[in-house]
Amino acid sequence: RCAGCRYSRVAVIMDKITKSILQKHEEYVTYFVWLAGWASIFGSLYFSEIKGFIPCELCWWQRLLIYPLAIFATVAIIRKEYKNFAYYVLPFSVVGLIVSGYHSLLQWGIIEHNLLDCSEGAAVSCSNPEIMVFGFITIPFLAFLAFGSITLVSSLSLYLSAKQTKK
């Protein structure tokens, strides 16, 4: 067998995989949001109900923004309605990305003044991290990663949809 033949077969296989992803990207995004949403729900409930961490005000806002995404994705999967799903997801994920990013910067000490002023007189301070792994991974940073990945994947899906529409 020739070496070029092997590479052409790999190229054909990769082309088929790419075409499959492009054809079903909206469905894949819905499943990704479903997985990230439910992982976030169970993660937040683990920290609050099992570990006993009381959520601060910013944590509640992040929960308010991530919980509906899991429900929206579940309904979309049951109904097999994947088209334009990203349009419903992006408002929640972008706002969640901003809130969790702000909360992370607050806990890392980069931002010193909390706009919500929940540090003083509140049951739980927004600026004190309950956990810190490797010196930077906090619960709000985990939320930032979830919101960021959902925003990125949803934006990419909208881009691919627009590109396919132009063809």
Find tokens 């396919």 and name the residue.
164
pLDDT per residue as tens digits for the range 152-166: 989 888 888 777 777
Whole-number Å distance between alpha carbons of 128 and 132: 10
**Looking at the predicted structure, is the pLDDT value of residue 113 above 80?**
no
| Average pLDDT score over residue span 92-121 | 79
140 vs 131, higher pLDDT:
140
Q: What is the pLDDT of residue 74?
A: 95
Q: Average pLDDT over the chain, rounded to whole? A: 80
Query: What are the backbone angles phi and psi of residue 133, rounded to the nearest 5°?
Result: -105, 135
Tell me the pTM. 0.78
Whole-number Å distance between alpha carbons of 70 and 39: 9
pLDDT per residue as tens digits for the range 13-52: 666 666 665 667 788 888 989 999 999 999 999 988 888 8
The helix (H) or strand (E) run that includes residue 157 is helix 139-166
Q: How many CB atoms lie within 10 A of CB 132?
A: 14
